[in-house]
Structure 1
Amino acid sequence: MDGMVIARLESHGHNFEIILEADSVNDVKEGKANILDHMPSEMIFSDSKKGEKASTEAMNKVFSTEDVALIAHQILEKGQVQLTTEQRREMLEEKRKQIIATIVRDSMNPQTKTPHPPQRIENAMEEAGVHIDPIRPVTVQVKEVVEALRPYLPISFERVQLAVKLGATDYGKCYGDLKGLTKILKEEWQNDGSWIGVVELPAGLQEELFNKLNEKTKGSVETKLLK
C-alpha cells in the first residue's frame, strides 16, 4: 500500500507485524501521535501480506496481552520497520532538518553567546561524518550529534535569563510568545501599568523572541540579558 510501512518483530518463534502510515512513524515513536490513529486496520498480523492475523495464544505468550495498541507499540519499538528507498530518503531528510532545528534552537556558540546558523550546523555534521537514523527519536540523536560536532564546532546547551518590560497595552499582544518560547520566572505590574518579568529560554531562541516582541510592540519592548 502506498504511504504505508510494515513493522515486524520476531519473538519466541512467532512473527508479528503491523501496517502503519509511513509519515507517522517518528511521531508515534516520540509519543506525539496515537498509534491506532495511523494503522489502517487495528490488527496484529502474523503475515500482513497474506492478511493472516496473529493468534491470541501467540500474543499472550509473547506480550502477555491482547491489547492491540500495547502490542503495536512493542513491535514498533523492538522490531524493524521496512522502508522503501524513497520512504527512507524522505524520512532521513525530515529527521536531519528536525535535528538541525533542535540544535539551533537549544544551543549556542559559547564564545559569542549567539546561536549557530543552521548552515554552519549542517556543514559541521557533514565534516564530522554524522550518521542520521530515520527512525530513532530526535531527542536521542541530538545528544549524539552534538558530541560528534564538538571537535569541529564550539557548542554548548545553555539557557539564558532575560528581564523584559512591556507597556500596559503590549502585554496582551506578547503573552502568547512569552508563554510559548520562555519560562516566566518572575513577574510584577508597575504603578504605570507596565509589566516587568524575568524569563528563561534556550539561548538559541533569543533572536526569535526579540523579533516577535519588537514586531508586536513596534520596538517599545525593553530587554536586558541577566545571565
Structure 2
Amino acid sequence: MVSLDAAVLARMEKGGKRYEILVDPYLVDDFKADPSSVNPDDFFAMDEVFHDARGGERPTEESIEAVFGTQDIVVIAQMIFQKGSLQLTTVQRKAMVETMRQQIIHQIHTQAVDPKTKSPHPKTRLELALDESRYSVDPFKRLEEQVKDAIAKLKPLIPLSFESVRLAIKIPGAAYGGVHQILRPYQQKQGWLEDGSWACVIECPAGMKPDLIGQVMRRSSDAEVKEL
C-alpha cells in the first residue's frame, strides 16, 4: 500500500461536495488503462472515500451510495478518474516528471546507437539533447508513446539508428540459471551441448549489447560471446 506521504489526491465534485481518494501516482496510468491489472493494495493509500482527505472528513455511506451507486473503492476510483482530476503538488509533479524523463532516456539509450560508432549514445548526451529539443515530459502519458515522441525531437539533433544484433552465447552449465533468466526475453535458439555447456542465439537492440554482455560475464566469466 502506497504511503500517505507518497500518495496524491484524485478528486471529483458533485452536488457541491468534493469526493477524494488517495492513490499511488505512478500506477494511475495503468489503473486507467485496466483497473484489473493493478493490485488495489498497491494502488490505494486507504480504501476510503473522503470529502477532505487531508482533514479526514468522510462522507456517509448513504451519500457515497447516492453519488456512486456502490461502496466498491475500485469502481468509485474509475468514476473519479472519468469525471474528476488528479491533484499534484508542485514537488510531486516535479519528481514524477524527472522519473519519467530518466525512463525515456534509458529506453533510448538501450534501443538506439550512433550509426557511425555502432555504440549507444552516452546518457548525458541524450539528456542534453532532450533539453535542447525542449521536449515536454508528461508524467502520465505512456512511456512507449513518449519515447516515440522524444525520438522524433532528437533525430534532428543527434544521429540515432535503431538496429538489432544477433549474438551466439555459450556458458558452462553451472551458470545456466542466472544467465538464462537474463537472456530469455531475447532468445531465438537455445540448447545443451555434449560437453555439458549451454548455448543460445539471441537478438536484441544494438544499444543493449554492451549491458547484456556485461551482465552475462558477471555471472559467468568463462562465457563465450560471438556476434553473428
| TM-score, with structure 1 as normaliser | 0.79
The reply to whether residue 96 of structure 1 matches residue 101 of structure 2 is yes
Return 5+ residue gaps in structure 1 as ranges. Answer: none
Match of 1:183 in 2: 186
Structure 2 SS opposite 1:165: strand
Give 1:199 deviation, angstroms. 1.0
**Counterparts in 2 of 1:170 and 1:41: CA distance versus 1, 3 Å:** closer
Residues 1-227 of structure 1 aligned to structure 2 (within 5 Å): 2-9=5-12, 16-20=19-23, 24-30=24-30, 33-45=38-50, 48=53, 50-52=57-59, 55-60=64-69, 67-76=72-81, 79-179=84-184, 182-218=185-221, 220-226=222-228
C-alpha contact (below 8 Å) 1:161/1:225 kept by paired residues? yes
Deviations 1:87-133 (A, max 9, x none): 12222222211221122122223333322211111011011011112
Looking at structure 2, the residues matched to 145 and 177 of structure 1 have their Cα atoms a distance apart, in angstroms, of 28
Question: Which amino acid is 1:203 matched to?
Answer: A
CA distance in 2, matches of 1:9, 1:159: 47
Cα contact 2:64–2:71 (8 A) shared by 1: no
Cα distance in 2 for partners of 1:153, 1:15 equals 48
TM-score by length of 2: 0.78
Structure 2 unaligned spans of 5+? 32-36
Q: Distance in 2 between matches of 1:158 and 1:13?
A: 56
Deviations 1:145-169 (A, max 9, x none): 1111111122244432211122344
In the alignment, the residues of structure 1 paired with residue 125 and residue 89 of structure 2 have an alpha-carbon distance, to the nearest angstrom, of: 31
Aligned residues: 216
